[in-house]
Amino acid sequence: MKRWISILLIVIVVTAVSAGGILGARHFHFRDDAEEREVAEDGDAVKIHYTGLLRDDRVYDGWRIFDTSYHDIPRIRDPKFTLTYDAERERGEPFEFTLGEGVIEGWNENVRGMEEGQSRTFEVPPEKGYGEKSEELIFELDKVETVPVYEKINREKFETIYGEPRTNMVVEDTFWEWEKVVISMGTGFVEVRNDPDLGETYGAYREDGWRSEVKSIDSTAAGGEGIIEVEHQISRPLTVDSEILSSYKEEFAEVPNLKQQEGQSPDGDGLVIRDGDTIIIDFNDEVKGTTLLFRVEVISIEKEEDADEEE
């Protein structure tokens, strides 16, 4: 009996020492590793991978990805993207920036103090992100509007779009995509007749969800100018191009310049959203005026003093 008790005590002691040795090794390993990791400070060159998400309750049900540096986004099996997500942009390389410079304040605040290899998820409100929306870039259209049957088009503009005019020439309207018939020409202008079919739907974006139905046509109304009554039907949010819309309303032609003046992307893309009996066209960059969610992974940190020494 004493022999078995002695053996048991030896086994317990050996096991305890072994366990303590392993735990001690793990403890010192993590401690040493933590001491060796660089911590991001202002002026450091930081490389990160990131995924940016936003939520716009007018358009999306839940968070949507608007940008990422990853080629394949980790931990997301079925990613859901915003309408303006650039699927053609090359991805896969980390994004590098100098902490404290050239990025939104929400990134500076949250990346500051992170270690190499660390990941973090954080929210950024508009005031620390890309700012509020510009009201100048938000347009409202009535659900029902009228278009003249007969209209005069600047001759130079007509020739730029359709070529040399001639009587009874039939062209297709660049926005409505219904037929226009040339009925006369004068000094500096071309007179045309808009010639849609009653009850038909038209529009450059009708396949994308913006259909415009011709509800009535009266060629004698408005003192002989005629009236075509059109009802816009928006089945879902969609993106539009201000250049295409400029042939519908000239005010849209200034959208890219206005966006650039305000520090936004001058691409002229906008979102069309139905709000009751009103159609909203919002040309603000999607990141404007909304809280953003970022998932950031620090790949490497080059200290400011190290970079100075290399120079």
Mapping DSSP onto H, E and C, the string for 80-131 reads CECCCCCCCCCCCCCEEEECCCCCCHHHHHHHCCCECCCEEEEEECHHHCCC
Residues 139 and 278 in one domain: yes
CATH number of the CATH domain containing 104? 3.10.50.40
Q: Which amino acid is at 16?
A: A
Q: Which amino acid is at 117?
A: G
Residues 171 and 220 in one domain: yes
Mean pLDDT of 195-199: 98
Local structure of residue 250 (DSSP, 8 states): G
What is the distance between the alpha carbons of residues 301 and 47, in angstroms, rounded to a whole number? Answer: 6
Residues 79 and 185 in one domain: no
Would 30 be classed as within a structural domain? no
Residues recorded for the chain: 311
Residues 148 and 98 in one domain: no
pTM of the model: 0.82
Query: What's the number of domains the chain is made of?
Result: 2
Residues 147 and 238 in one domain: yes
Would 167 be classed as within a structural domain? yes
Structural domain including 234 reads 135-282
Q: Which amino acid is at 207?
A: E
What is the distance between the alpha carbons of residues 167 and 52, in angstroms, rounded to a whole number? Answer: 55
More confident residue, 35 or 266: 266
Residues 127 and 139 in one domain: no
Residues 167 and 260 in one domain: yes
What is the rounded average pLDDT for all residues in the chain? Answer: 88
Question: What does the block give as tokens for 198?
Answer: 């009653």
pLDDT tens-digit map of 32-84: 454 578 999 999 999 999 999 999 999 999 999 999 999 999 888 889 999 99
Question: What does the block give as tokens for 222?
Answer: 């408005």
Residue 19 pLDDT class (50, 70, 90 cuts)? very low
- Residue 287: CB partners within 8 Å, gap ≥ 6? 52, 54, 66, 129, 130
Would 14 be classed as within a structural domain? no
Question: What does the block give as tokens for 131?
Answer: 């700012």
Q: Which residue from 141, 16, 163, 111 is spatially nearest to 301, judged by alpha carbons?
A: 111
pLDDT tens-digit map of 102-124: 899 999 999 999 999 999 999 99
